[in-house]
Chain A
Amino acid sequence: MKFLVVDDSATMRRIVVNSLQRIGFTNCVEAADGIEALAKFDSTIAFVITDWNMPNMSGTELVQALRQRDDGRTVPVLMVTARSVREDIITALEAGVNNYIVKPFTPQVLKEKIESLIVAPAA
């Protein structure tokens, strides 16, 4: 199962990728903003984990763009962000985000949210 991890913070990308590896998902592609993510997204990507606040293209804009594409219409998107105001969370969900994690997070929370969005976790 291939993950696309999108965050402008290299530290956060590394933390998310390491957390995924620890859970058992070792196939990850990284992007630093929405534009790079769209360029790297293809039908082999099975799951997207994205930050909200990024330069050039935000996480919500990325999700909206993905939902316009045939190959991105149904891909599970998990937003991992520091934004935690009620209105923000609703905005993200309305943009097409499937689940939401507030930073800072624990690996256990990440695991739970991923498992809630996929039929069967990678072996």
Chain B
Amino acid sequence: MTMANERAADLMYDTASTLRLLDAELGELAPRRPTDAGALPPTSPSAAAAAAAIGATDRVLPLLPALFVRAMGEVHSMLASIRTGREHIRAATTERLAHTNEKLTEVSSATAHAALDIMDALDRAIIKVDELETEDVLADATKGTAIRDDLRNELFAVMGHMQFQDITSQQIMHVQSLLAEMEGRLADIANLFDHQAGDSAAAPATSVMAERTHKDSHSFDPNASLADAETRQALADSLVGRGSTGG
């Protein structure tokens, strides 16, 4: 991507130079054309200037086809480079947007799942509290102790379900990093077409985002997930076991 941008920028620079040269040559001709020398007396100063202009035209005109061909070739190369760059950007951005969408869906799903687990645990805890107030339990201390233990377990389970917050925050940080990356790519495109705007507006915003993303990049696992925890723990156990037995 960066190479494509640099190539396109170089081509734009070359093309701009050529066009400026062309413009200068045409500029030399432009003031003289309206006063075409044919209608003026041959002895006047204007007539002399017109004659000089005709001479200049004769010198410049043979150069124009070559200049046009050169400019056209460079514009053509630049457009090809831009098309290539655009394809790279489109492919990368589409893929990342799909991944971003997937991650946000996972965050939403994980949050809903954890909320339901917490609600279920609290429902069970409320039932235990109700049981503690029944006459049967009030008359039997052993039953009361068992129910209180169950109640503690349910409340503790609620705390365990709060782990979703750590996982989802890592997933959101990953989405932020993807968005920052896409913002950087868009800023590159903007800078390619408008160096001035890129220097004054886009660059500072991008650098702040990039700086923050870089700082946070060690704080999250892009693959963090609440799914299949038991399977993943089993893999860890097998690798730890293999390590401890020297296998």
Contact = CB atoms under 8 A, between A and B. Distances in A.
Interface of A: 7-9, 11-12, 14-15, 18-19, 22, 52-56, 58, 81-86, 89-90, 93, 99-107, 109
B229 A105 contact: yes
B219 A15 contact: no
Contacts of A84: 223, 232-233, 235-236
Q: For this complex, into which size category does the number of interface residues on chain B fall?
A: 20 to 34
Contacts of A7: 166
B243 A15 contact: no
A81 B167 CA distance: 10
B181 to A, nearest CB: 18
A102 to B, nearest CB: 4
Given A82-B166, A86-B239, 13 more contacts: A8-B219, A19-B160, A53-B170, A54-B219, A58-B218, A82-B170, A83-B224, A85-B223, A86-B235, A102-B229, A103-B163, A103-B166, A104-B229
B240 interface: yes
Interface string B68-106: 000000000000000000000000000000000000000
Could you tell me the dominant secondary structure of chain B's interface residues?
helix
B12 interface: no
Nearest to B230: A102
A50 B245 CA distance: 23
